[in-house]
Chains A and B, each alone.
Chain A
């Protein structure tokens, strides 16, 4: 199975080699898939394909289904979904999950949530695994040192039927963040700064390994935020080598190994790192000290700048980006030269698979304690899972959010992509902790600025984008 016996290998090489079922002469491989996560939007056609061909799910015990994109996040959702198409899609998942016998967390299960939050939370995601899902933010699971990436519906059907994927190996890219982060700078700022540097196509054709002191010092939740947005940098998968932080997070989770198997697993997991001298096709290095709280101004995640910057002009760019920047400024209703901190907002969205975990909610609540949303600004907090919500409520975070004027919701993808009623109105401008600022992403003609949970909360209080380092210094 190992092609490079003896030669130094990257973390990606090692996981890849451990999953090759067979290899053709041209390098096309059949890769075994350890975990297949399924949600309601990209799976109905795949299950229908199985039915039409009389095929079964090869490994239902490795397949986990949860509805997240379409589900309402309002407290009355037990009474059903109003939108007929959404209801049909969620019902289809329900029927498919039961008929094909896969693990399933229905809407009203406390463990339901965004698939990329549920997987790690339940211990389905483990180091060294291959993980796929019909969703590009599957990259999230790379934080555990799992090779995880999004696939289309045809490949969902392929994995359901065969538990494998036909793949060619990607290139290796290393993104190293050295040193330390300044106060107020979070994993979200780091990943936005990386994308600003590499561009949204910088990782195309590569698997990125994030490393360096800054990454080592991040919690698992911060690491998930980084890997989640690997795709926004063009890489289908991001990876972080597992370490004690990883093992501590995984241990004791419902589907994590126990007893002797735990010991055996950890022994293997400890071998999962890039060897000294392993070859990377591309290397990017950033200094942690150079990263400021970062926000996006345009309609591509690469349109990210330190909060201290001004809105750029189209002429600041070259090539096709000149027209793209012009279009972005027009769409976003912004004028070149305006300080970012002068950009006023109408809405705050805290949630998503990027920043919908408990640490994210704590960071936002810390900013909001004793403060209120500015007049005219609406805010929504959508925990990433039912368990995140329960934990936040136990800690009293829900009370802080509600007293600040936020709506406190049930778990789902919500306003990250607005497939349910949680959307921006045309022209509405949102400080969002999600991952994409594309045109129309959060609602038709909605305007999205991506940032960290603390920055989004602070923007809500101020009514405009703010530098969290200055904001945090002021009394509540």
Chain B
């Protein structure tokens, strides 16, 4: 997993609330057995018509946002399915940070496994950043994980909260599984206890 430290980039505005994982990456793209290559299908049904032509109105098709690395999104982003294809598609497109007032739990969790930073901010802050994002390439946002801030076009910095363990893993690009494997003795002893306490499992 790539580290996430700081990011300065173009933010694309997606004010729609409840953007679900079926919108982010529709089911026909879940048939892959790989993690890569999904960026071209990100937001497929909003982004392309039935013949595969780009829909010019869709934000990521606009020239100003083709290189967006940040999304500023409406409430409850990523609701629905557990498909990790959603963060894979975002990452493959180049999105490393999504800012919203709230995220669905499973999507939120999946982001951290892929070096994407989901930032939760209050409504007023998201509204201000959404206005910045609407200014396109002239309004780059800066996300600094170490200081836990998002800085808007007018240099206003918005501080966000993040779980310390997740922050540590993201800053250092750590592999969870490797970390947990080091705790094998604790897992062994838990299994031994459980075999006595709940042998039917």
Contact = CB atoms under 8 A, between A and B. Distances in A.
Nearest to B35: A45
B55 interface: no
Contacts of B75: 201, 319-320
Contact of B183 (A30, A42, A45, A128): A30
Contact of A21 (B22, B190, B200): B190
A194 B177 CA distance: 37
Interface in B95-115: 102-106, 109-110, 113-114
A354 interface: no
Contact of B105 (A45, A88, A166, A205): A205
A179 interface: no
Contact of A152 (B110, B179, B190, B191): B110
A419 interface: yes
B131 to A, nearest CB: 15
B163 A168 contact: yes
Given A26-B164, A44-B33, A154-B114, A440 B15 contact: no
Contact of A262 (B28, B34, B200): B200
B187 to A, nearest CB: 6
Given A21-B190, A154-B110, A89 B16 contact: no
Count chain A CB atoms within 10 A of each CB in B27, B181, B186, B190 and give the residue with the most: B27
A268 B102 CA distance: 37
Contact of B22 (A32, A86, A261, A440): A440
Contact of B82 (A136, A265, A320, A418): A136
Interface string A262-300: 101100100000000000000000000000000000001
B23 interface: yes
A21 B183 contact: yes
A337 to B, nearest CB: 23
B187 A163 contact: yes
Interface string A220-260: 00000000000100111000000000000000000001000
Given A152-B113, A323-B16, A129 B22 contact: no
A444 B45 contact: yes
A302 B79 CA distance: 12
Interface string A314-335: 0000011101100100000000
A30 B187 contact: yes
B32 A42 contact: no
B98 to A, nearest CB: 15
B163 to A, nearest CB: 7
Nearest to A160: B177
Nearest to A134: B82
Contacts of B164: 26
A45 B33 contact: yes
B200 A300 contact: no
Contact of B83 (A42, A88, A235, A300): A42
B198 to A, nearest CB: 7
Given A92-B33, A320-B74, A439-B45, A164 B180 contact: yes
Given A166-B176, A327-B16, A438 B80 contact: yes
Interface in A17-31: 18, 21-22, 24, 26, 28, 30
A199 to B, nearest CB: 8
Given A48-B33, A438-B20, A162 B180 contact: yes
A423 to B, nearest CB: 9
Contacts of A36: none
A383 interface: no
Contacts of A257: 200
Interface in A59-96: 62, 69-70, 83, 85-86, 88-89, 92
A379 interface: no
Contact of A155 (B35, B109, B183): B109
A55 interface: yes
A415 to B, nearest CB: 11
A327 B103 CA distance: 20
Contacts of A190: none
Contacts of B76: 200-201, 204, 234
A135 interface: yes
Nearest to A298: B18
Interface in B58-102: 74-76, 79-84, 87, 102
Nearest to A300: B18
A345 interface: no
A321 B18 CA distance: 9
A32 B194 contact: yes
A261 to B, nearest CB: 4
Contacts of B198: 18, 128, 265, 268
A18 B30 CA distance: 35
Given A128-B198, A166-B165, 20 more contacts: A21-B186, A42-B30, A55-B181, A69-B30, A85-B31, A85-B32, A88-B31, A134-B82, A134-B84, A152-B109, A155-B110, A157-B177, A161-B177, A164-B180, A166-B180, A201-B75, A268-B198, A323-B15, A324-B74, A327-B16
7 nearest CB pairs, A to B: A257-B200, A154-B113, A152-B84, A150-B82, A85-B31, A152-B110, A320-B17
12 contacts: A41-B30, A44-B33, A48-B33, A83-B31, A89-B33, A151-B109, A152-B82, A153-B84, A158-B177, A264-B199, A439-B23, A441-B22
Interface of A: 18, 21-22, 24, 26, 28, 30, 32, 34, 41-42, 44-45, 48-49, 53, 55, 58, 62, 69-70, 83, 85-86, 88-89, 92, 126, 128-129, 134-136, 138, 149-155, 157-158, 161-164, 166, 168, 170, 200-201, 204-205, 231, 234-236, 257, 261-262, 264-265, 268, 300, 302, 319-321, 323-324, 327, 417-419, 426, 436, 438-441, 444
